[in-house]
Structure 1
Amino acid sequence: MADDIGDLMFQAIERGDYNTVEHYVNTYSLNHCAAWDDGYALLKHSLEKGQREISMFLLKDNLKLNPYFDPFFGFNEDKTPLHIAIEKYDMEIIQKLLDKGANVNIRDANYKTPLYFAVCNKDMELIQMLLDKGAEVNKQIYYDSSCTNYLNIAVQTKHIHVVQMLLDKGAYVNGCDTNSKTPLHFAVQNNNMEMVQMLLDNGAYVNSCDTNGKTPLQIAVQNN
């Protein structure tokens, strides 16, 4: 019986049958069957299928918002509900997820965090929302086949206001990527003098060597 109800619930979500979903939630608990995963799987399914009204209804309940995380193997979720909401750019649902306890620093299967997507998209409003909820500004992430940090990405994408926001929140100005390149390396390479000055004003080292033995100062001399 539990399996039958479980399947029927997913089918109701997929076709956007709000009344049936409401009936099952009110009749059975969110831990009615393992497949519902305390509501986590239901919410994820409704978000993936674009069933916003059902997603908002589910978020009224006390449901599970974060997947199980194994300290050795991580988790194999492609995307969490928070990642999906960010992908769909639904700010109301993003805020509700964060307010109800969604992990703001959680990674997807590709080790991407919510803040990663916000920084890459140069989305000031979303960045601020995530930072206000405790997003870690110095977390190591993957970008363009390299292990790096948010400040490096912001410099590479040439968004000075995002760079300033991250610095104001304590981003390490000399944090480097896999190739030992710092934000100043990228700012100099881009010949972005305003960005260079901002980083220098915040304590950037001009003599930090990357894996090719090049410092920002040497790159600046070569560029000129």
Structure 2
Amino acid sequence: EEEKKSELGETIDNFNLEMLDCAVEGDNIRLREWIAKGADPDAIDTRVEHPEHGEAHGDFRAIHYAAMFGHKRTIEWLHAYGADVNARNYIQEIPLHLAATGDNLDCVKTLLGMGAPVNAVDANGWTPLFKAVLWKAANETITTLVEAGA
């Protein structure tokens, strides 16, 4: 697909990378601005390398970063713009795995409310609950996952 260019000469790929950075930072104002300019809320971050092969695996999305860093409002905005709450990264984690691993209770609740499957398994066969326990998440996070059916 031919790269689209804006009137400023920036590419859609640049817009996507800027939007991904906003998700890491939880900068919802800039995130919405980049999406309005044409960034894809489900864009894949091609800058991240696969740890085993040293090549871009391209499977982290903005919603993964928002869940990982505890940015509940960013998750809500991305979802409103069409981001997939069940998108999988290179080890088949969905954002709920990352929110549980990071003990980000508000993100866990938000993702569950958006329909994220509580018993999704990653490439290792691990569920969000298993990861929450493994990484010593707070009891409230663990209880929330259990009450959701884990």
Instruction: Give aligned pairs, total.
Output: 134
The residue number in structure 2 matching 1:39 is 6
CA distance 1:112–1:167, change in 2 (3 Å): same
The residue number in structure 2 matching 1:175 is 120
Is the 8 Å Cα contact of residues 59 and 89 (structure 2) preserved in structure 1? yes
CA distance 1:197–1:98, change in 2 (3 Å): same
CA drift at 1:41: 8.5
CA drift at 1:100: 4.7
1:53-202 equivalences in 2 (<5 Å)? 65=12, 80-87=14-21, 89=25, 91-109=28-46, 110-142=58-90, 146-189=91-134, 190=136, 192-202=138-148
Alpha-carbon distance in 2 for matches of 1:155, 1:95: 25
Alpha-carbon distance in 2 for matches of 1:111, 1:40: 29
CA distance 1:148–1:184, change in 2 (3 Å): same
Normalising by structure 1, what TM-score?
0.52
Secondary structure, counterpart of 2:45 in structure 1: coil
Secondary structure, counterpart of 2:92 in structure 1: strand
Secondary structure, counterpart of 2:85 in structure 1: coil
Higher relative contact order (CA 8 A, sep 6+): 2
Normalising by structure 2, what TM-score?
0.75
Q: Sequence identity, in percent?
A: 25
CA drift at 1:37: 4.3
Cα distance per residue 1:110-141 (max 9 Å; x no partner)? 32211122112211222221111111111111
* Alignment gaps of 5+ in structure 2: 47-57
Alpha-carbon distance in 2 for matches of 1:82, 1:91: 14
Structure whose residues are more often helix by fraction:
1
CA drift at 1:198: 0.9
CA distance 1:39–1:161, change in 2 (3 Å): same
CA distance 1:163–1:101, change in 2 (3 Å): same
CA distance 1:199–1:100, change in 2 (3 Å): same
Higher Cα radius of gyration: 1
Alpha-carbon distance in 2 for matches of 1:160, 1:37: 39
